Amino acid sequence: MEARTEAAPAIARAPTWVLVAVPLALIAAAIGLIAALGGPGLDERRGPPVEELAVERTVLRPGEIQLSVRNTGPDAVEVAQVAVNDAYVAFAADPDGDVGRLSEQKLTLEYPWQEGGAYTISMLTSTGATIEHIIDVAVETPDTGIGFYGLMTLLGTYVGVIPVILGMLFMPALRRVSEDWVRLFMAVTVGLLGFLVIDGSLEGLEIGGEASGAFGGPELLFLGAALAYLALTAVDRRLKRGVERRRAKGEGAYRLSLMVAIGIGLHNLGEGLAIGSAYAVGSVALGAFFVIGFALHNTTEGFAIVAPLARAGRPGFIRLLALGLIAGAPAILGAVIGAGAYNQELATFLIGVGVGAIVQVIGQLLPSIRDREGQALHPLSIAGLIAGGAILYATSLLVSV
């Protein structure tokens, strides 16, 4: 240390903030210089401009089609003309002119579309390139008024809150069964949750793959999952400390149950999002079958929440209701977001949050399926895991959004 101090006395004496600020300033100056000089020594890109537009939102109103487009390519794009099903249409652009990188433009097309029709919208740019957007089935976009949000709240309640609370009705039965049966039910729960992880990951990757790419795609799933996993772990540590301080009987079980409820709640946020957006674009018919399917599917989630409470003290009604709402109510929020402001990036991220949360919860539940020798995988738990996965697989067939 002594020798180095003598070699560079000025650096050694400088305060730490200067040692951070000087490199930062040099980096900024170098980047600024390169930008100002336009990358000296480097040619422009070879070939014609790369023109990309992603349609982020499509709104259908009588006699008109509105597209919100975002430039996801490196070069500016100007939409010169627009054809719908091979016919040029009158349209207005807001703002007018070029769309810069990552900028947005709203195109309002005058077109007498018919309900149920399929439409290919071809945007012809100033250079003659064509960018296509397909509307598979034209359905008027619902007005996002009070009534609409009311409907989404009802929908979220039907598919989220009610089934979860119904599932929790297994609680009294659970309290009577033997240790082995509790272990079995916990294994079933882990199986259920494991299926949700796989199901959610696949769905998130699919939706992420369809994203415009301007703000990322499938990686948002992993980002969301990691964030949720770490955040829930932090919450869990907090709760554990609280439990240890109070040393209350059964508090450990409630903590576990709360963690499961939170994990499932975050999962249901993504599920509500999918339902709301599917409803908004008319790709799902709300009806008894739809609601019954989700009810059966999500009832199993209610079971998962109460399973850890089998050996806890008699739980209060309010406490159980709160757990149910934590797990179910996010479906309402998800449905509202999905129907009102859906985009693939947000959906991928939120589904990722659900996946990460459930992975975290599975980690929490695993100790409770260990037998007296400490083995997690014994005949009973294996049967439970398989049963849980199979139940969710079967009920998921009833609800394909």
Partner 1 sequence: MPLLHQFVPHHGLHEALEGARAAEHGSGHGTGGSSALHGGGAAGPTFRPGKTVDHAANGFHPTEMLRDFDWGKTRRLASGRVLREWTLLAGDKEIEVAPGVHYPAWAYNGRVPGPTLRAREGDLLRVRFVNGSEHPHTIHFHGLHPAEMDGVPGVGAGLIDRGGETTYEFIAEPFGLHLYHCHAGPLAEHIARGLYGAFVVDPKQGRPDADELVMVMNGFNTNFDAEGNQTYAVNTVAFHYVNEPVAVERRSPVRIYLANLLEFDPLNSFHIHANFFDYYPTGTRLEPSEFTDTIVQAQAQRGILELEFPYVGDYMFHAHKTEFAELGWMGFFRVGGDRERQRQPAAFHDPVRDEGESA
Between 122 and 153, CB nearer to partner 1: 122
Radius of gyration, CA atoms only, the chain: 27
Of the residues 8, 100, 110, 322, which one makes contact with partner 1 according to CB under 8 A:
110
Three-state secondary-structure class, residue 84: strand
Reference 320, options 331, 309, 334; nearest CA is: 309
Residues linked to residue 93 through DSSP beta bridges, in sequence order: 107
Of the residues 81, 103, 283, 375, which one makes contact with partner 1 according to CB under 8 A:
81
**6 in contact with partner 1 (CB under 8 A):** no
CA-angle at 121, arms to 117 and 127, nearest 5°:
165
- C-beta separation of 240 from 132 below 8 A: no
- C-beta separation of 257 from 311 below 8 A: no
Binding segment for partner 1 (CB under 8 A), chosen from 81-89, 209-217, 299-307, 392-400, is 81-89
Of the residues 58, 71, 105, 111, which one makes contact with partner 1 according to CB under 8 A:
111
Alpha-carbon gap, residue 139 to 90, rounded angstroms: 21
**129 in contact with partner 1 (CB under 8 A):** yes
Between 78 and 206, CB nearer to partner 1: 78
Between 126 and 396, CB nearer to partner 1: 126
Between 98 and 206, CB nearer to partner 1: 98
Residues linked to residue 311 through DSSP beta bridges, in sequence order: none
Of the residues 68, 108, 153, 233, which one makes contact with partner 1 according to CB under 8 A:
108
Of all residues in the chain, what percent are helix, strand and coil, respectively (each to 5)? 60, 15, 25
Neighbours of 222 (CB within 10 A): 18
Phi-psi region of 320 (alpha: psi -120 to 50; beta: other; left: phi over 0): alpha
**92 in contact with partner 1 (CB under 8 A):** yes
Reference 122, options 109, 138, 105, 113; nearest CA is: 109
Q: How far is the CB of 51 from partner 1 (least distance, A)?
A: 10
Three-state secondary-structure class, residue 213: strand
Binding segment for partner 1 (CB under 8 A), chosen from 108-116, 261-269, 308-316, 323-331, is 108-116
Binding segment for partner 1 (CB under 8 A), chosen from 7-15, 92-100, 223-231, 390-398, is 92-100
**244 in contact with partner 1 (CB under 8 A):** no
**90 in contact with partner 1 (CB under 8 A):** yes
Binding segment for partner 1 (CB under 8 A), chosen from 123-131, 173-181, 322-330, 343-351, is 123-131
Provide the binding-site residues for partner 1, judged by CB under 8 A: 61-64, 78, 80-83, 86-94, 108, 110-112, 122, 124-130
